[in-house]
Structure 1
Amino acid sequence: MEINSYLFVYCYMFNMIPRTYQDLDNSCTENNHCVLPCHCTTSCNNGLCSGSGQCQSRWFGPRCQYNDLAKANDATVVLPQRNASINLHDNNDDTCEYNVSDVTVTWQTNYPLTWIRLITNKLDYFPNVRIRYKTNVSDTDFTSCKQQKLQLATDSTFDVWCQDKVNVMALKIEGKFASLCSLYISGGRNFAYGQKAVLLSNYEENEKVYNLSEAVDGDIDRFRFKRGTNLSITLSQPVVMTRVLLYHHVVLFNEWPGLLSLELFNKSDSPWFRYSTHTMEDGTIRTYVILTPATTQTGRVSIKANHPSILFPLTEVEAYGECPQGYWGLLCVNKCPEVCTSDCHVENGQCTSFCFGYSDPPECLTACSNDQWGVNCLQTCPKKCLHSSCDSYSGHCDQGCLGHSNPPVCDLECIKGAYGKNCSSTCSSKCINSECDHVTGFCLKCPDGYKGNNCEIKKFIMEMNSFGIGFAVCCGIVALVVLALTLSKTVLVQWRPRPKFISVYDETKIQEEKCHRYEQITKTVQPNEEVNDGYETSVFTMSQLKDNSHDLTDSPSEYEYINVR
């Protein structure tokens, strides 16, 4: 069965991971190996460094179990405009670099990129970290990680994952750090250590199975050679494997006449990856590294040799990788909580509380709107971005600059005379010195006699000569006269006499007196004989009027009554 896969193979003329440390925990014995090796500068107690011990160089993380690629022999760590970056990889989290904007790491060979750990002593705000990489050192530009997530381990430690599943030769970590004390790049943990290892042999008539625990005991110099063709290592839990390291005996390996092949089996024990290679001619090379694609969970590792007549040459096998999605812990046996079944922190199982370019942790499925970016989309795109639109990860302007000339960074303001999108527009010639606002294009100053955003409106200006002065004085006098007349009219209206007010009672009494007088007149002029009609009743002689005039003297006339009302 032939399986095609993408991989890299590299050989080293040195031990990639030196065994100068104590390999076994204090509680372990020769016949009862611990699940985890000890990588402390002092002894280990249940996997923890005793006393003032700390992780050995090239190891970090929980129980010092993660291999640090930032301290690989061929790694170079560079801080811009600084002579050294020793504080970032001195295994001391208390020594720091300050005001760091980015860090670049390069290697001479390819390594799998999974996640990095950053430690700071000033986590006043959460920096917007961005991972970029090169798969080949000759690449012109860095590629931004497309699937990035952020996890907070402690109040000063956060992990940044890149899930693009790539092997890289250069890595750039961008962000504004008030302080950066340590940088670790995970090379995974060795899942082959202490697992079940057997050597199958068909050299003799009856096939034999040898227990070959020395091949996974963490010591490349301790071995027990047997004749065999297939070394099989069964893992206690399927993991996502990223690289396999094969250590061999120099003399025996050079005598190997045939092929050596590596096979990986999934959790159903079906092969999913195979790679074969000829033996190496250089006897000084002790480590053979095979980078495997991190696409399928591996439950078993098999190394086959096609020549059974001599001793099996390998002294140690290491298989590095990460927990599969949905599991956490050093043994990858703990399941993530129900609220984040597919994604939790590998060390403590906590749900992801931060998303890069997404707003809904822990799922991180809802992308930021065009005008937002960063962790949980909490940052607003800069005003210097056209339409206030920016990349949801980096905050860089993705549709061009507004008032600036160098997209996508947009940190160079337009020169004099230019404005607008990427400074491609020219200020109005009517502006003084052709100077205008670098964003709107409005003139900063207009020539005398002009106004408006673009100095397009001509002002009306009266020349202040003798005529102008006289005209202004006359206008002032006329205005004063009009004002005086208006005030006089107002005063006269306010002081005009008003009619006398008569109460309702007085008016009623006047009406009664009038009626009484009228009765008297009627009785006086009415004859004793019967009156035929109203007209005759109302006729009387002038002499009668004169005789009765004294009765009307005191009563007000109709005209007077009307005036009173």
Structure 2
Amino acid sequence: MMPQMFLIFTILMLLAVKADGQTCRFGHPAADCQYNCNCAENCDRQTGCAGNCTAGWDGPTCQRRNVALHQTTYQSSDYNDTERFYTSELAVDGKVGHYLQETPCTHTQNDLRSWWMVTLNNTYSIYRFQIYNRVEKCGTLYKPCGRRLNGFTLSVGTNNQSYSTCYTDTTDSDYGPGNIINGRCNDSKPRTGNTVRISLPLGSFLTLCEVRLFVCSEGWYGVMCDKECVTDTHCFQCDDHGLRCEKCANGRWGTDCDEGCGHCWINTACDKDTSECPNLSPRCESGFQGYNCTLTCQPGLWGDNCVRTCNEYCLEQPCNAQTGACEGGCQPGHAGKFCDIEFTVDYTNVIIGCVVGVILAAALITLSVVLWVKRRQPGQSQGPAASAENTAVTHDVSHPDVPNRTREPWTDPVTYYNMITDEEHPYETVPEKEYDKIRSSRLGTDADTNYTTLT
């Protein structure tokens, strides 16, 4: 039991020594100690450096190195005043700031083409840099001094020869390109060499308060070495120097995998350096075209590689570039998602329906008129007593309101009965035939039985 415990204790001690030594930054993962720990003091297994960074290293976890620090420098000329000479090494002394005398900064004469140069102690892939610019006002016009860096160029060469331009500034401002310039090569491609040169395009003073050239620690990449390979979702693998991400996740491209690919077929990975989609068939998703599948189809075209034509019967052109659907509807006589179904409209049923509807409407109107007329006829809405009274008045030929009535009184049984029973107005001229009709209607078929009543 004791030998086993001793073996376990020995292994733990070895791991602890490795974690606290300069061979581990712990990072991700901690156990395999795959990163260097660039700390001036202890390296914590969970947070990295517990204190300051080793000289030349900086960043939140001491993950980037300034390879220009305290290296050999030169410049086109030295400016001096009553205070001092502003020589080239002041740009790599490790003192950052923005004021000529306080920092201090380098300063050339007003040369025809002012320049500054640093020679590194090794060959590096230069990609990122940081420049501290002067912010004071100066010159006879007393304008911001930072404007003097407008249009500067940073180039990388080998032994002060074969320079390749990494970065060219395009600023045109009275305040210059900024107080702190965090830059990288314009084309996102590193330059390999041991000499870095900064120059101005036209005659002017060149002032640099600090120049820093960064190289990332293992496992880090990005413009300021601020992205960690093992945790960044855009990068699958960094190179050995942390200079760049060697393999981007699908849908990403660029030196730092910070650019998005176009619409490659089924989200296939585009080329990391050119963004070109794989030459498949088809190359692009439906509705897109071009070598990197970023261009949409021209109006009237759709589908894979934009080779299909929208249906001419779409009501609104163009159709959907991805699906070909006529989203604005179809022209008359066509139907379907793509307006590819043709049909003829049969108006027979429509006409029959209209005719039947007119006939029914006319019938309803006629019936309504008939009912209305019947309801407006005299006596239809009154009781028997009122009807008899009105009838008597109506058939009274002597009534002053009805002077032209020609209807014979015996045609109305009630009127006639009143007349023949009225002793003061005997009416003896009633025709016998009419009398028998009236008598039968009022007394029934047995007229003889009630005849004496009427007489």
More helix by share: 2
Q: Which has the larger radius of gyration?
A: 2
| TM-based fold match above 0.5 | no
Higher relative contact order (CA 8 A, sep 6+): 1
More strand by share: 1
Q: TM-score range by the shorter chain?
A: 0.3 to 0.5
TM-score (norm 2): 0.32
